[in-house]
Amino acid sequence: MNYPNGQKKIISKQATSWQSKKSFSNRGMSLEDDINTTNQFYLDIDRAVIHKKPTPVQIVNVHYPRRSAAVITEAYFKQASTTDYNGLYRGKYVDFEAKETKNKTIFPLANIHEHQINHMKSIVEHEGICFLLIRFAAHEETYYMQAEKLFPYWYDKLHGGRKSIPYEKIKLDGFHIPLQYQARVDYLSVIDKLYF
């Protein structure tokens, strides 16, 4: 690295390995962060009202090390969560799950649970808009996949078929969402094409 006065700064291998670990560890939440930023932008411009669902937790034990601080030491999920996000867009109910994988060639169906599929099926049966956002971290690509396109892969898995969806199939069955500045993951543009 060169400073403006022309002197060189040598960066140690230790510093660069820490930086690469730091950026790698932050990748896990990047899809969620991008969706939250997108949803806030939609809300700010009054385009849609979509929020992340809170996870219902039962607090069992709390430790009070000081009067002004409390630390939860034991808690349990009250029930299995359904999907990550829900809300309203142009008078339609929107409900979706967001998943990120480091795998380059497949999306493992183990990332989705049966109760989530049942929930998504109910949304579709009641004419809501339901989908899955899948990010392939290795490709830095995000895809919108309608729940109706996901179900056949899930049912095939239950009957002894593949336990994953090939990346190429997601490219065919899904819709690529390029990253943008304010609406980082502009999934409403896909909804507009499909439903309006």
Query: Which H helix or E strand runs over 170?
Result: helix 167-173
> Total domain count for the chain?
1
Query: Which H helix or E strand runs over 44?
Result: helix 30-44
* Residue 48: domain span: 28-195
| Residue 154 in domain | yes
| Residue 72 in domain | yes
| Residue 112 in domain | yes
Residues marked as binding for Mg(2+)? 82, 84, 97, 116
| Residue 6 in domain | no
| Residue 5 in domain | no
| Residue 2 in domain | no
pLDDT digits (tens, 9 = 90+) for 158-188: 999 999 999 999 999 999 999 999 999 999 9
Residues marked as binding? 82, 84, 97, 116
Q: Which of 144, 141, 135, 131 is nearest to 178 (CA)?
A: 141
The residue ranges of DSSP E strands in the chain, in sequence order, are: 49-52, 57-66, 69-77, 85-89, 92-101, 106-108, 129-136, 141-146, 164-166, 175-176
pLDDT digits (tens, 9 = 90+) for 110-133: 999 999 999 999 999 999 999 999
CATH code for position 119: 3.40.1350.10
Global pTM value:
0.77
